[in-house]
Amino acid sequence: MIRAHTVAQVRAAEAALMATLPEGTLMQRAAHGLAHVVLETLGGGYGRRVVALVGSGDNGGDALHAGAVLARRGVQVEAWLLSTQAHAGGVAALRAAGGRVLPAAEAVAAARGRHGHGGTGGGHWDLVLDGIVGIGGKPGLRPEAVAALEALAGVPVVAVDVPSGVDVDTGEVDGPHVRAALTVTFGTHKPCHLLDPAAEACGALTLVDIGLDLPEPDVEALQPEDVAALLPRPGPQAHKYTRGVVGVRAGSATYPGAGVLSVAGAACGLAGMVRYDGDAAVLELVHRGHPEVIGPGRVQAWVVGSGSDTGAEVALRASLADDVPLVVDADALAHADLVRGRPAVLTPHAGELARMLGVPRAEVEQRWLHHARRAAVEHDAVVLLKARHTVVAAPDGRVRVTTTGTPWLATAGAGDVLGGLIGALLAAGLAPYDAASVGSWLHGAAATLASGGGPLVAGDVAEALGDLVALLVAA
Ligand SMILES: NC(=O)C1=CN([C@@H]2O[C@H](COP(=O)(O)OP(=O)(O)OC[C@H]3O[C@@H](n4cnc5c(N)ncnc54)[C@H](OP(=O)(O)O)[C@@H]3O)[C@@H](O)[C@H]2O)[C@@H](O)CC1
Ligand SMILES: [K+]
């Protein structure tokens, strides 16, 4: 599991640990971890050139101390101080190790696009260390940081702890911020490493352990081993009914494909049987790909709403009458009020969630975490907000972010497959929060498997699920 903690949680854990250690120990741990990741990234020390952008706090101190380690390994390190208050111990350590503080005139010249000391501006350096601000920073960047980053455009950036300028606790971005190729974080992940748009600015992620003792995380992201542990597996005595029956009320004469694709997701094999209750012509289409699907009857979970057109409310009310967990998707989301307090997973995209909450879509896309949590509380149900990094929020405040997937997954019908898949997991006995987050993880990973780096259609995702589950079970 990737666990992400808020700034307040990190501060508390840091204070407790620092009280037991000599001063500066944690910064030394962070700086050494950072320096080793940078050396790996550079493929060595001698002959490499690194510039550290250094702000006024300990984040700059980390960058300076890491710079000192790098300088001792033969890297030519220069520090570009963005504040007169730069970490004094870090500056002294860098100088003592043979690193150099860029004179103000050179920094200004570089920022103006003229080239300092025979170099070629940004081209002079192999890598930028972003030590502008860390978890103590306010969102956005000051003009001198913006100018420095512009001068260094094109040089890959390694963010120290977080990409400077993002909101650490929410992943929101308001104003200029660093876009890193790699982020090296300390002690634990922070929500901004998982939540877009900040997560996109992090690049690859590496965690350096500094020994913090941490509470329950604020946000988490399932990893393959977590998904494998949560996967429903048939016991030796299993039969189709004990494995769970999932019912699908999706698709209509107007949108038959939604029914076919919802069934394709439900028929992933993780539940024992799939029932279809809907348009006869859609069932005929379903049977072409899934002859094992049968008609209505007792189920352990319903999937409702995708392509249901005007029949969504009737389908939802009929499903609620059975008193089993539900997946509420697409057209049925307009009637999500009916579901309040029932075991359910609501699966809106940003536009649908915006309508549910009565806010503009752009606001949802700026504040994914806030709106997913708010919807989960207001509807007293698990909300799965579909996005590049899907957010699954439970009414009690728990949040999981999905980091699997590929941009090729942005394709028609992919959401129908996801709804069916989550329905199968509910029918197999997973709680709504687990069913939603495991389903979303599998959906993204199956898409990556099916894509092989190229385009795909929704049916490919459903087809890849079997191979993916086999890989997870075997691992
Ligand atoms: N916690 C841990 O376990 C460990 C933490 N460690 C490290 O410490 C980091 C946190 O350090 P920190 O607390 O000194 O805060 P940090 O983010 O460097 O600077 C904040 C200062 O910057 C300023 N400022 C604010 N906003 C700004 C902006 N937008 N743009 C520009 N400047 C801005 C403002 O000061 P001002 O200039 O206004 O006086 C503010 O006081 C953490 O991320 C990690 O790297 C590790 O060493 C070891 C273990
Ligand atoms: K930073």
b/e per residue, 310-331, with b = 16+ CB within 10 A?
Answer: ebbbebbebbbeeebbbbbbbb
List the end-to-end C-alpha distance of the chain, in Å, as a whole number: 16
Which of 172, 194, 221 finishes a domain?
A: 221
Q: How far apart are CA 93 and CA 24, in angstroms?
A: 12
- Write the DSSP assignment of 328-371 as a string of letters: E-GGGGGGGGGGTTSSEEE--BHHHHHHHHTS-HHHHHH-HHHH
The residue to mutate among 29, 59, 146, having the most atoms of ligand 1 within 8 angstroms of its beta carbon, is 59
Residues 176 and 43 in one domain: yes
Residue 272 above 70 pLDDT?
A: yes
- pLDDT (0 to 100) of residue 122: 61
Q: How far apart are CA 409 and CA 268, in angstroms?
A: 18
Digit-coded pLDDT (tens) for 414-468: 999 999 999 999 999 999 999 999 999 999 999 999 999 999 999 999 999 999 9
- pLDDT (0 to 100) of residue 285: 96
> C-alpha distances in angstroms, 147 versus 76, 81, 157, 246?
22, 13, 15, 57
The residue to mutate among 65, 84, 130, 133, having the most atoms of ligand 1 within 8 angstroms of its beta carbon, is 133
How many of the other CB atoms lie within 10 Å of CB of 178? 25
Q: Look up the domain containing 412 and give its range.
A: 224-474
Residues 38 and 139 in one domain: yes
Digit-coded pLDDT (tens) for 52-84: 999 999 999 999 999 999 999 999 999 999 999
- pLDDT (0 to 100) of residue 123: 65
- pLDDT (0 to 100) of residue 308: 87
Measured from the Cα of 138, ligand 1's closest atom is 26
pTM for this predicted structure: 0.96
CATH number of the domain within which 277 lies: 3.40.1190.20
Flag whether 174 is marked binding.
Answer: no
Residues 175 and 314 in one domain: no
Distance 57 CA to ligand 1 centre (A): 4
- Write the DSSP assignment of 176-238 as a string of letters: -----SEEEEESSB-GGGTSTTHHHHH-EEEEE-------S-SEEE--HHHHHHHS----TT-
Which of 183, 204, 221 finishes a domain?
A: 221
Count of domains for the chain: 2
CATH number of the domain within which 108 lies: 3.40.50.10260
Distance 239 CA to ligand 2 centre (A): 54
Confidence of residue 105 (pLDDT cuts 50, 70, 90): confident
